[in-house]
Amino acid sequence: MHDERRRIEERVERLHTQRIKPAIYAATVPFEVEAWQAPGEPVPFAEAAAAPYEPFTMDTPWGPPWGTTWFRMRGEVPTGFAGRRVEAVIDLGFVGDWPGNQAEALVHRLDGTPLKAVNPLNQYVPIANPATGGEPVEYLVEAASNPDILANDFAAPTPLGDVLTAGDKPLYTFKRADIAVLDEEVWHLDLDLQVLRGLMVHLGEHEPRRHEIMHTLDRAMDALDLDDIAGSAAAVRAVLAPALARPAHASAHVISGVGHAHIDSAWLWPIRETKRKTSRTFSNVTSLADEYDDFIFACSQAQQYEWVRDNYPHVWARIQESVKKGQWAPVGGMWVEADGNLPGGEAIARQLIHGKRFFIEHFGVETKGVWLPDSFGYTAAYPQLAKLAGNEWFLTQKISWNQTNKFPHHTFWWEGIDGTRIFTHFPPVDTYNARFSGEEMDRAVRNYSEKGAGTRSLAPFGWGDGGGGPTREIMERARRLADLEGSPKVVVEHPDEFFAKAREEYPDAPVWVGELYLELHRATYTSQARTKQGNRRSEHRLREAELWATTAALHAPGYAYPYEKLDRLWKTVLLHQFHDILPGSSIAWVHREAEAEYARVAEELEALTTEAVVALGGGSARVFNTSPYPRAEVVRTTEGAPVYVEVPASGSASLSDAAPARPVTVTGRVLDNGLVRVDVAEDGTLSSVYDLRADREVLAEPGNLLRLHTDLPNYWDAWDIDKHYRNRYTDLLDAESVTVVEDGPLVGAIRVERAFGKGSRIAQTITVRAGSARIDIETEIDWHEAEKILKAGFPVDIRAPHSSAEIQFGHIQRPTHTNTSWEAARFEVSGHRWLHIGEPGYGVAVINDSTYGHDVSRTVREDGGTTTRVSLSLVRAPRVPDPEADQGRHRFTYSLLPGAAIADAVAEGYALNLPLRVADAAGAPEPVVSVDGEGVTVEAVKLADDRSGDVVVRLYESRGGRATGTVRTGFPLAGAEVTDLLERPLEDAEITAEGAVAVALRPFQVLTLRLRRGEATGAR
């Protein structure tokens, strides 16, 4: 047989694209359209309905960036359309085919009921199958003119990312608003061809099935009457039917499809636009559920449900009905799909608590899995926290983006730092926006790593990132692929069903231990430093407010615990941990608003904490310690005078009870407190840090070396830092001034000021305090660089085989060598409050109050010693998607702690992030809880969410070893239970004869205790 592949494939492509697709809508009549441009921000439907509208014609530009235009559309179904499938078809002037960041609209009835959204791939609104024709049709359409921030593949900065800089030039040209007849036979023919063509081109050229499909398509085109596409469509489909009826092989891979609409809670649009995106997407999804009984949609992010509940009650009611019918599956059990590395441990716990409770309360559904496809790496703390929240499975996708190494598994057990394992799946289709194309089906099978052991994988299908969701075309492709030779089998089902089947067939799946590190998007540990600082401060302020509110509730008669305020503030912080807000990868508008929100959160939490402390009674000045560790350190009075005090863990002490401390001496540029001696060089670096206790020099080279690197990644500016950044840099060694600003006896400090780059300035105050080996470097930056990253390096004279970085409820070890490509790819890593390096007998910690990005490298010197360099990534200057990212002023502190064990790093990490508070209080109430036992660390103290008055304490083992201890209470204890994260009982806790709670923890175990009080204390 002659090879006619090219002729046939080109013939089919042309006829399909140029003749069949245009014939899908058989007849059309235009709407009469009027328009009203809403001033400023979006307005409620009632205001839009009462607005004055003006005539509007097609092919007219409309829509300034971030604007809202309301269109009134009036029409009448022609009598000739009677008995046929009639739809409104609207094209706002769509750009490309991504439904996300561009023109989008929600279509309403005149009574305000949302019907359905329109976007580039979902342009229709069902009208009906009219019986006679002549029926009037009238809509009000809320159209958003969001700019296409992704234009030109992020090649250049754009001012469109903020309403303040975007201008007012119209972005779109309205193309079409018609009443149209959908020719269902032609529409189905289009879908038949999509599936068969997609299957054909991805089958191997040696496959008989490919050639059978090709010749079938050729014969089908012979049956197509070019002068009567609609009249011949049935005949063409009849030729194709046998090819579509051939069943799949018995051993065909099974793909469990579940509808999905990834909606970033903010990204290339602000939060206010996400609220509207949810209404559009969810309207489309519930409409699709009415058309397809076999449709199932999985949706995460309780925050988005709450927005719909509060702003779109009609859509909310339709969601509730779909959940009851089993067509809508709440998943994920988190408040938002948060970043997987940067939120603190308690914050991830609260993500799970608030998310799962929302779904239980509003739908009677307890989600079984963590649904987190698009975060930029995943902390090794997740397996334990997920299980403690009652989850059975974990889903991720983003690891498919790895820059260097291909992740070896798709179905596996993920083991966390404490040993907890959770069944995990990573869809081989390599997308969470699947469309059941031939290319995707082929990739899923070829890519699947578990062949020979597992037979199934998951495919979330539907347009996403900016929403959109599944379409009827995707559902039709799924139906055709249910049992088709040459293709994997597709079944639409609930993700819980998929995970149950996958685990049953593959219970001994391989185990991956530790973090799921994404070999890409490493700059998200640093970009938008003020957003990250706002999150860190908020997490610690929430801890502080809860602790002292609980103390006041127990000891201050009449004080009412602020349940509602704390709940609202937690949810605000949780929202901003979304995986494109906290990582710093959103447009300017998002980060401008985030910084303002964090300022409001700080103000409210300061007021709540002050209220709680004041409720304990006025009197003498006291020092309050929110840290779970006792502290002896210098604190300043309200007048600014330094005082050295000792304060118990989670307790207070009188400011007048000053403790003795060896003074700090300042000689020239040398600071000495008897524990460490710090020599500041003329250039402002640390020429020496000498540990007087260990009698050894800490540094191998000058420390606190500020290094300005060129930082232009290959793509994704705000997201990525590529290894070549290391190759070009300038060391900042020209100090304008090095000045002693405090010379003892309790504090010694030297201020170093520099100017550099394009008008940037940095001032650092290097501080040594009495009684502490911690050397603080308080940093103020006025930053005006572009495409640069500033790092602070500490080359330490330690041969460290690994570094240990704090993560949620523990720490993780990473090799300092680069023996393998996996280790080499970790050239930038995340850490929380501290990073530690050590050799037997000696260690050093680098501590911070708001920095997450680090790198650790090692070199062997000519003298045979090893230099291990720890560098902190302080601030970046990407220009896309926010051209002004990180510009302006920053203020933060990082510290060097010589002679530190892991336990010291833990304690000082808390101390730096939870400054001692000075306030007036009459008495010295007992700490709510106190703990003895090395390694047992209290992370949260609060009243139970059910308002029973019980006290909830969350603690964990922080050093990486087994720990036993005793939890004592500052109130009469009547009973104690171990609970899950949602404060539901798991087992009774052991109460000792002294009325305390005995605990025994495995390494990094998290334990939640619910403590029942023995008598009323006036608390509410």
Q: How far apart are CA 107 and CA 318, in angstroms?
A: 16
Full strand arrangement of the beta sheet holding 963-969: 929-932, 963-969, 997-1001, 990-991
Cα distance between the two ends of the chain: 87
**CB-based contact 143:105 (threshold 8 Å):** yes
Residue type, 617: G
Q: In angstroms, what CA-CA distances link 678 with 473, 675, 704, 705, 895? A: 69, 10, 12, 14, 13
469 forms beta bridges with 463
Q: How far apart are CA 553 and CA 562, in angstroms?
A: 10
Q: How far apart are CA 536 and CA 531, in angstroms?
A: 9
Q: In angstroms, what CA-CA distances link 944 with 189, 354, 384, 984? A: 59, 13, 21, 10
Query: Could you tell me which of 763, 756, 765 has the C-alpha nearest to residue 788?
Result: 756
Q: Which residues contact 75 (CB under 8 A, 6 or more apart)?
A: 29, 30, 31, 32, 88, 136, 137, 138, 179
Tokens of 733: 């060694």
List the Cα angle 540/543/546 in 5-degree steps: 150
Q: Which residues contact 515 (CB under 8 A, 6 or more apart)?
A: 377, 378, 379, 380, 807, 812
Burial class (CB in 10 A: 0-12, 13-18, 19+), 992: exposed
**CB-based contact 463:471 (threshold 8 Å):** yes
Q: How far apart are CA 388 and CA 395, in angstroms?
A: 17
758 forms beta bridges with none
Q: How far apart are CA 549 and CA 610, in angstroms?
A: 9
Catalytically active residues, by annotation? 374
Cα 457 from chain centre: 24
**CB-based contact 103:95 (threshold 8 Å):** yes
Residue 311 exposure: Cα atoms within 13 Å on the Cβ side: 21
DSSP-derived secondary structure for 154-222: G-S--GGGSTTTS-----EE--EEEEEEE-HHHHHHHHHHHHHHHHHHHS-TT-HHHHHHHHHHHHHHH
**CB-based contact 937:958 (threshold 8 Å):** yes
Q: Which residues contact 437 (CB under 8 A, 6 or more apart)?
A: 198, 477
